[in-house]
Amino acid sequence: MTKSYLLAICLVVAGFNLQAQSDELTQTIPGTPFSFKMKPIPGGTLTLGPSKIMVSLDSFYIGIYEVTFDEFNCFKEREQDKDESTNPAITYKADAVTRPTPQYVNLTFGMGDRGGYPMVSMTQQAALKYCRWLYSKTGRFYRLPTEAEWEYACRAGTSTKYFFGDDDTAIGDYAWYYENSDDKYHKIGEKKPNPWGLYDMLGNVAEWTADDYRTDYYKLLADQTSNPWMIPSKKHSRTVKGGSYVDDDTDQLLPSYRLKSEPRWQVRDPQIPKSKWWNTDSPYVGFRLASPMKPLSKEEVEEYFKKAIVD
């Protein structure tokens, strides 16, 4: 490989990184003191699975950080919400919002909440309903990333086992996991980001995706190679990515690793039926937001949530 070719590659990568920094999306949540940042992810292709299925993805935004307790509590707690919205399609009334039910126990288990800790213990449905609330507040469509989008953003254009190389020696620089976490999650953004500037993609808390968990996922991709999404048809199960502070096997922090959500994540919930909002036994699962580059109509947004949320 010639020096000039290597220089060209470096210039392209540097150009994208500079452009990405300038095009970051900062979203204020109307009526609250909180805001969050989204990173633009360029469209491209990703090779998945042992059969090396290549999928193509459109450009999208993804959260630079995991959603925090501070942000989610503006949805959960009525007193933190106001009749303020920048969504021109609706008249927002905070009293009309269906909010999460009170937790049976404190699902942080003393690990921390206010001041930048990742939100945990919500069901996938609750994460999606937070996204729907954000749409009502902001007029911008937010959702969960698909499994393919999540892995694509995590890998950040790399082809090694981890985005920092094939060896896991440096994993403690990028991830909170069993060996360095002291058995608890930590505030967002304390470790190094991946090459595209995304923090905590590996470790800290694992993250919900929009996808139904399919054991034959890679086989199904052969018929869905453009923007794949495994649309759910029942409450369980969903695909969770990234690994967390409880994982002692670094293979569980691989970008390719797939965790299946389980009904046992609600084993201590005394309700019958179990809560639509909370998992009493997964304080290691949170989420981050995604948003398409292309604006969707109100009808398209409503259709998405109709498909995505299975109570």
For the record, the structure tokens of 252 come out as: 């569980």
Least confident of 123-127, 199-203, 269-273: 269-273
Helix axis angle for 298-308 and 124-138, nearest 10°, is 170
Q: What is the CA radius of gyration of the chain?
A: 19
pLDDT value of residue 1 = 42
Q: Look at residue 21 and tell me whether its pLDDT is greater than 90.
A: no
Q: CA torsion sign, 292 to 295 to 298 to 303?
A: negative
pLDDT digits 0-9 by tens, 190-214: 999 999 999 999 999 999 999 999 9
What amino acid is encoded at 222 in this protein? A
pLDDT value of residue 130 = 99
**DSSP 8-state secondary structure symbol assigned to residue 167:** -
Pairwise CA distance, residues 307 & 19, whole Å: 34
Task: Give residue 121's region: left, alpha or beta (phi > 0; psi -120 to 50).
Answer: left
Across the chain, mean pLDDT equals 93
Pairwise CA distance, residues 311 & 308, whole Å: 10
What amino acid is encoded at 48 in this protein? L
**CATH architecture label of 26-308:** Alpha-Beta Complex (3.90)
Q: Look at residue 133 and tell me whether its pLDDT is greater than 50.
A: yes
Q: Look at residue 4 and tell me whether its pLDDT is greater than 60.
A: no
When pLDDT is averaged across residues 137-160 and rounded to a whole number, the result is: 98
Least confident of 2-6, 106-110, 225-229, 232-236: 2-6
Contact 42, 61 (CB under 8 A): no
pLDDT digits 0-9 by tens, 95-124: 999 999 999 889 999 999 999 999 999 999
Percent share of the chain, pLDDT over 90: 90
Pairwise CA distance, residues 6 & 77, whole Å: 53
Strands 60-63 and 290-292: antiparallel
pLDDT digits 0-9 by tens, 166-192: 999 999 999 999 999 999 999 999 999
In 127-247, which ranges are E strands? 206-212, 238-241
Tracing tokens 């919500």 back to the chain, one arrives at: 122
Q: Look at residue 274 and tell me whether its pLDDT is greater than 60.
A: yes
Among residues 222, 210, 215, 241, which one has the least CA distance to residue 55? 222
Burial of 96 (0-12, 13-18, 19+ CB in 10 A): exposed
pLDDT value of residue 15 = 45
Q: Look at residue 17 and tell me whether its pLDDT is greater than 80.
A: no
When pLDDT is averaged across residues 242-264 and rounded to a whole number, the result is: 98
pLDDT value of residue 140 = 98
Pairwise CA distance, residues 55 & 48, whole Å: 8
pLDDT value of residue 311 = 81
Tracing tokens 């989420």 back to the chain, one arrives at: 287
Q: Look at residue 229 and tell me whether its pLDDT is greater than 60.
A: yes
What amino acid is encoded at 25 in this protein? L
Strands 285-286 and 206-212: parallel
pLDDT value of residue 105 = 87
Tracing tokens 């049976």 back to the chain, one arrives at: 104
pLDDT tier for residue 22 given thresholds of 50, 70 and 90: low
- The model scores a pTM over 0.85: yes
When pLDDT is averaged across residues 85-90 and rounded to a whole number, the result is: 94
pLDDT digits 0-9 by tens, 31-76: 999 999 999 999 999 999 988 999 999 999 999 999 999 999 999 9
Which residues are CB-contacts of 215 (< 8 A; sequence separation ≥ 6)?
Answer: none
Contact 70, 192 (CB under 8 A): no
Count of CB atoms situated within 10 Å of the CB of 248: 8
Residues shown for the chain? 311
